[in-house]
Chains A and B, each alone.
Chain A
Amino acid sequence: MKKRIAGLAAMTAVAALALTGCAGGDGGGDGAPIKIGSVNTLSGPATFPEASAAAQAVFDRANADGGVNGHMIEYNTVDDKGDPASATAAARELVGSDEVVALVGGASLIECEINQDYYAQEGVYSMPGIGVDTGCFNTENIAPVNIGPFNDMTLTLLNGSENLGLDDICVLLEIAGSTQPAYMAGVERWTEITGKEPLFVDDTVPYGGSDYTPYIVKAKEAGCKAIAVNGIEPDAIGQVKAAQAQGWDDVTFLFLTSVYSENFAAALDWTGGGVHVPAEFYPFTEDNEINEDWKSLMEENDIALTSFSQGGYLAATYFLEVLEGMDGDITRESVAEALQSMEPIENPMVAAPYQFQKVAAQDFEPGAWPVVLKSGTGAWEKSAEDWLMIPAG
Chain B
Amino acid sequence: MNGGALLQGALAGLASGGLYAVLAVTLTLMSRLVRVVNFAQAATGMFAAFSAVWFASELGLPTWLATIIGILVGALLSGIIGWVAATWLSEATVTLRSAMTVAPLLMLISLSFILFGNKPQPFAPILSGPAFSVAGVVVSWVTVVMVLLAIVVAVACSILLRRTTVGTKLRALSERPTTAELIGIAAKPLSIGVWAVTGAISAITIMVIAPSQSNDAISLSMLIIPAAAAALLGGFKRLDLAVVGGLALGVISGIVAQIPAVSFVRNFIPFLFIVILLLWSQRKEVWDAAR
Residues of chain A at the chain B interface (Cβ within 8 Å): 45-47, 202, 204, 206, 208-218, 221, 233-235, 237-238, 241-242, 244-247, 263, 266-267
Contact = CB atoms under 8 A, between A and B. Distances in A.
A234 B258 contact: no
B12 A238 contact: no
Contacts of A217: 8-9, 11-12, 137, 254, 258
6 contacts: A209-B219, A210-B222, A217-B9, A218-B5, A245-B142, A247-B130
B67 interface: no
A211 B213 contact: yes
Nearest to B8: A217
Contact of B267 (A206, A214, A247, A266): A206
Contacts of B9: 214, 217-218
A211 B15 contact: yes
B123 to A, nearest CB: 8
A106 B118 CA distance: 19
Interface residues of B, number: 44
A209 B118 CA distance: 16
Contact of A204 (B19, B121, B266): B266
A378 to B, nearest CB: 10
B120 A234 contact: yes
Contacts of B136: 221
Interface string B252-276: 0110111010011011000000000
A345 B219 CA distance: 42
Contacts of B118: 45-47
Contacts of A221: 5, 8, 136
B220 interface: yes
Contact of A234 (B16, B138, B211, B219): B219
A257 to B, nearest CB: 16
Contact of A202 (B11, B256, B260): B260
B251 to A, nearest CB: 10
Contacts of A241: 211-213
Nearest to B9: A214
Contacts of A263: 119-120, 122
B28 interface: no
B223 interface: yes
A45 B218 contact: yes
A242 B120 contact: no
Interface in B199-236: 211-216, 218-220, 222-223
A252 B264 CA distance: 26
A215 B9 CA distance: 9
A246 to B, nearest CB: 5
A214 B253 contact: yes
B128 interface: yes
A234 B214 contact: yes
A234 B119 contact: yes
Contacts of A246: 12, 130, 137-138, 140
